[in-house]
Amino acid sequence: MTAPRPLVTDAPRALAFLVSQQSFIEPTVYRTLYPSIRYPRLVPVDTDAPEWVSTVTYYSVDRVGQAAWIHAQAGDVPRAEVLRRQYETTVAMAGTGYGYDLEEIGKAQLMGMNLSADKADAARRASEEFIDQVVLYGDAAKGFSGLLNNPAVTTGTAAATGTGGSTAWAQKTADQILADINGQLVGIFTGSANVEMADTLLLPYDQMLSIGLRRIDPTSPVTILEWIRGHNVYTLETGQPLAVFGVRSLETAGTGGTARMVAYRRDPSVLKLWLPMPFRFFPAWQTGPWRFEVPGAFRLGGLDIRRPGAFRYLDGI
């Protein structure tokens, strides 16, 4: 008769079992996809800085000066200069983890089962949601501004051309909506002496779904969204379609709690999330007589909008 497997009854054996289980839990968790986490597709992420750096220093460069007609015997020549500005971003640490008690570990070992990866998956999900929140809205306590509320970005109000002088797209014709959108894109282009071009629009879901269903003309199958993707200053200059994403909470992100549109160039030279240490788990340890924890941590420096001229906010849509 086969003797039953002994139940884990002491902390050292429980901890050893948890450590062995962690080796297969972590790869499973890191393969999990999180479709509702928005920041990876909205902003460039930089993980090249050393993990434990306290600040990230970067520079912005602007070139000034222009050529001019000169005489062969001129005593001076027009000069070009490079203006370099230094910025620093503080890197902070955040964390979350998971744990088991002696009974959970003992039962798993007795039954020859692997510990579930659900707790580790929940911890990683929490870290991604935290980063997502910081990227979009910043963190006042850390001095971080977000993608949707940076004070350095020029903010305007949609034209009051709708029914009854409304600024809301729900009260506007297709042409009036297109005028609002192209007005922002052209404003970025002309306001930067034809240097900056927005390639991305962020819209509240209601507005995005509305222009995605409304046709540009009653006799045309083309929607407003399809039209604007192919007929804008960025596409005319580059031949590339304009990227449009729906982002929840933009419904009330504007001044006075109004709906906000965000237009910007999605490029590392314009904006960047500093993430020196992406989320990872650290070795399991015993935190009490029958309790074991697996801590996780990550380090990030917030979202830097390095060239606000490549951004515009439009409220009241």
Predicted pLDDT of residue 34: 66
Dist. CA 228–CA 184, nearest whole Å:
12
Helix or strand run (H / E) with residue 87:
strand 81-90
Which residue, chain included where needed, has tokens 């930067």? 192
Dist. CA 144–CA 183, nearest whole Å:
29
Predicted pLDDT of residue 63: 57
Taking only the tens of pLDDT, the chain with its 317 residues reads 455 555 545 788 888 889 888 988 888 887 766 667 899 999 999 999 899 998 887 665 555 667 777 777 777 787 766 566 667 788 999 999 999 998 888 888 877 778 888 899 999 999 999 999 999 999 999 989 999 999 999 999 999 999 999 999 999 999 999 999 999 999 999 888 888 899 999 999 999 999 999 999 888 899 999 999 989 989 988 999 999 999 989 999 999 999 999 999 999 989 999 999 999 999 999 998 889 999 999 999 989 998 888 999 999 99
Predicted pLDDT of residue 139: 94
- Are the C-beta atoms of 272 and 254 separated by less than 8 Å? no
Nearest to 96 by CA among 298, 290, 287: 298
Predicted pLDDT of residue 28: 81
Predicted pLDDT of residue 64: 60
Question: Which residues contact residue 206 at a Cβ distance below 8 angstroms, ignoring those fewer than 6 apart?
Answer: 251, 259
Predicted pLDDT of residue 124: 92
Predicted pLDDT of residue 59: 64
Predicted pLDDT of residue 72: 76
SS3 sequence of 123-161: HHHHHHHHHHHHHHHEEHHHCEECCCCCCCCCEEECCCC
How many residues are listed for the chain in this entry? Answer: 317
Dist. CA 216–CA 219, nearest whole Å:
9
Predicted pLDDT of residue 2: 53
Domains in the chain and their CATH numbers?
A: 11-56+88-146+272-305 (3.30.2400.30), 155-268+307-315 (3.30.2320)
Maximum CA extent, the chain: 109
Question: Which residues contact residue 232 at a Cβ distance below 8 angstroms, ignoring those fewer than 6 apart?
Answer: 181, 182, 185, 242
